[in-house]
Structure 1
Amino acid sequence: MTTLVPTQDPPSRDLTAGPPPPPRPVAAGPRGRGVLGARRRRRALWWALLLAGPNLLLLVTFTYRPLLESLYLSTLQWNLGSPDARFVGLGNYAEWFTAPTTGRIVTTTLVFTVATVGGALVLGLALALLLDRKVAGRSVARTVAFAPYVLSGFAVGILWLFIFDPRYGLLQEVLGWVGVASPQWYSDRPWPLVMVIVVYLWKNLGYVALIYLAGLQAVPQDLRDAAALDGAGRVRTLRSIVLPLLTPTTFFLLVTMLLASMQTFDIIKAMTQGGPLGSTTTLMYAIYEESFVNGRAGYASAVATVLFITLLAVTAVQMRYVQRKVHYV
């Protein structure tokens, strides 16, 4: 006799409900996460090397390799074209620090750097404030102000030689209108150095003004309007609001202009060639004279190393102390 066992029907599915939820993914264990993380890191490293590799290769080839070779050459007594070189250690450095012309070269470099950097920052900010006003022809004025910066420094120096000529130059004519005799720009100190400083400022003023102009346009207009509602005038607004907010721009210009000023060569070469009697010879021009005029490559490498260490120290001091006074918004 067969016994019938009642079977239970499967639960009926609600046809009105949506599709069943997808299965929950099983979380990878610690080993799985470690493998995936290592793969991502390797992939990111390869992409970084692929994108930055060419630039790093160029930097090593044309910057760090010549720097190391210059450090090595500074320990040799070697003249250009000579097949023989003699190791002298720190002899080139000792000779430069005890040379009678070193003090004059360092003083000229300091005067030129302070005058050009300080003058460019002050005059550039003043020019930027003028170019920031809403007046007719503002775009043309900005282009004209920036144009000298893209010109060749050697060409600019040759052009200004005709302007400063004490007998036939344009400046001599202008001074003659007011009854003032033109100084002997080429021979009487300190006029050669003043002449070079003026030309350097004229060439780089547009660059400083353009960077300051970008900083001025980034200052929130709400702050200026609030200051005006509180009764602050233009001078007070500039001193209390605009200048503090321009400190990042000023810091950037201070670093870049200082480095560029201490490495100036083309204008000095075109206008004075370091003279008269070395009155316009800076550290950078002294390196050129010692290497390509006197042929003392080892001694010139020592002077170049001194300049490099000076620039590195000045930049480090700026990054360490001056940057503390920068206000970021």
Structure 2
Amino acid sequence: MTQSPATPLPPPAERRRLRESRSLTQAQVAKRVGVSRETVRAWETGRAAPRGRRAQTYARLLAAAPTTLTGAGAGAGTEETRELAPNAPTTPLTPAHAFDALYSICAPALVRQTYLLTGRRELARESVERAFQLAWHHWPEVAVDPDPAGWVRATAYECALSPWHRFRPRHRHPEAPPADRTDRALLSVLLQLPPPYRRTLLLYDGVGLGLPETAAETEASTPATANRLLHAREAVAAHLPDLADPAHLSSRLAGLATHARLRAAHPSSVRAGGERRARNWTHAAIAFTIALIGATTFTLNTAPTRYEPPVAPGTTVQGVPPHAAPGALSRSKLALRTRLQGAAANGPERVTPEAR
């Protein structure tokens, strides 16, 4: 049986983004389609393609997700479109429209994922907003990236795991844990893992990336990423034996992120915040440059115009007694001065000292 033309499948790179837009894991998609998780992973990486009824079911499942982009233009004149239906008309997208579409698709799931990394709701929202603000600031670069969602996800994870957050007053005290006891236990185990292991576990079992993609995003080798994943799974299974199955762990991670009920800000407010932040940094740079020019001008106007060599320190010359400092004369010297002044001059060789 061949694939039905009424339900075309998007490219492999789009399938994962469409799945993430609905906050679905590979295990959940595999259960609905009736295949294994490895098969869904192969469909998303392009190593295999669904056929027959499974292709139709998989296509309908992806069609129910919000529409994403295959790319975005670096300039306002670039036209990148996506067909909502086989015969739907295409419309050109501006950079703002492309950014808003990317944000609407990726931000909700990304906030929930970042919450699993940090255990803090406010920090998760701030990190995602900061990542999208950076993406809007570098939009010509992000728009032509083969995986813009991965670019934003990596930036959000870096912002969330920054060690400088520990110095913020609001982050010195932990937030309220989840109400459910099982969710609270799972989140506690995740937060006990080292950040690289926690990130690797989330990307592989939570997001559904392959091992090479996870290694590339965490900037580690594939063997090191595999060891981190095994260690993280063993640590989780040691505290929660019922999560020893990776498929069960993946579904629990998705459920924990969904139960957090995190909301992302509106894309227009994120764009405005990024532009305002860039504008403030520009004004600060201009003010610093003006202050530096003023300080340089003042220094040039007040600096000496000729070179004045420093006075060399005095040195002792042998045979010449040191100059005595002025002060009161002793009795013997006073008597000598009186005798010399009272002595009569006798001959041209003698002179009478006169006080001046």
TM-score range, shorter chain: under 0.3
* More helix, by proportion: 1
Q: TM-score, normalised by structure 2?
A: 0.22
Under a length normalisation based on structure 1, what TM-score does the superposition of the two structures give? 0.23
Higher relative contact order (CA 8 A, sep 6+): 1
